[in-house]
A and B are shown apart, each in its own frame.
Chain A
Amino acid sequence: MSDTPTRDDQDRTGMPDHGGSTGSDQLLPDGDTVEQPSADTPARRYTDEQKYLVFNKEFMPHIDSMYNFAFRLTTDEDDANDLVQDTYLKAFRFISSFEQGTNAKAWLFRILKNSFINDYRKKSKEPAKVDYQDVETTYNSEDAESEHTVDLRAESVSDLIGDEVATALNSLPVDFRTVIILCDIEGFTYEEMAKILDIPIGTVRSRLHRARNLLKEKLRDYASSMGYNEESEE
């Protein structure tokens, strides 16, 4: 079997499972701690040479996607720089818990997302920080409210430019923004997203649904403020 990394790892059904393991089929660095490898997932013992090979062949090809993800999360180029650098150094440090040929992109995205939550968000100066628990509670308690459709026509938003879409996306709470980035921009499957975010697939689905409703509301506000609304042109 070739050990050549493929670019379309994410098109497969997710991370492969290793033999009989069911739950966490791949050990991933979780913030600054890393789980001890269990019996059925032994830590790979790479030589130094192999480490650099894996790093260059499997991790570096994803650096543009990683940077884009970091930028969309932090909305700041300097912070994105720091976050990507931290993530890649962590990935190298914990390289023995990565199995060659498995889904490197999802593995890296998970480290980046954990670093963002653990390190970046703590020191974030962002005033309008939204605690995820708050958001989740609010939205769960108002199911009727969140389970709706947004009254908007495709034609109303079809003239929006990229910056306007980015502004609308950035205005969403970060957990909602994250699922949209992972799904629509990076093309991860629900299963991969569940692993990256440590949440069940059902939650991925419902969070995406809510995130998209929020986004459409923002887009609708934006479109009507820009006069893109079909009603405004008589």
Chain B
Amino acid sequence: MQTSSSLSSSSSDSKPQMKEHCDHQVDCLKMIQLILDGEATDQQLARLKANLVSCQPCIQMYHLEQEVKELLTKRMEKKCCPEQLVATIKSKILTFS
């Protein structure tokens, strides 16, 4: 239960301590991005899981990265290729070879 007991913030209750400050924020952010990109190792995944119950800045960074990725994947319009262009390409390659 006691993860990083040296960094005591509000002790005396039995809940796991929540870190309000993270000393490795840049490294944690890089790890979070690897995980959201599906490029992380199992070890990195395990480390993130631990951080997500004990480190407030990591939780916030995780939500932000996830949100930004979702904005890009879900909210931006996906442009489709105009039919006319498909037809042009198909007719042009027929004149090749």
Contact = CB atoms under 8 A, between A and B. Distances in A.
Interface of A: 48, 51-52, 55, 60, 63-64, 66-68, 71-72, 77, 80-81, 84-85, 88-89, 92-93, 147-149, 152-154, 157-158, 160-163, 165-166, 169, 180, 183-185, 189-190, 205, 208-209, 212, 215-216, 219
Contacts, number: 107
A184 B67 contact: no
B15 interface: no
Interface string B59-84: 01101111111011101111111100
B78 A68 contact: yes
A150 B16 CA distance: 27
Interface residues of B, number: 37
Contact of A66 (B71, B81, B88): B81
B79 A71 contact: yes
Nearest to A181: B72
A208 B89 contact: no
B93 interface: yes
Chain B binding surface SS class: helix
Interface of B: 25-26, 29-30, 33-34, 37-39, 60-61, 63-69, 71-73, 75-82, 85-86, 88-89, 92-93, 96-97
Given A67-B85, A190-B37, A149 B61 contact: yes
| Interface majority SS (helix, strand, loop, mixed), chain A | helix
B39 A166 contact: no
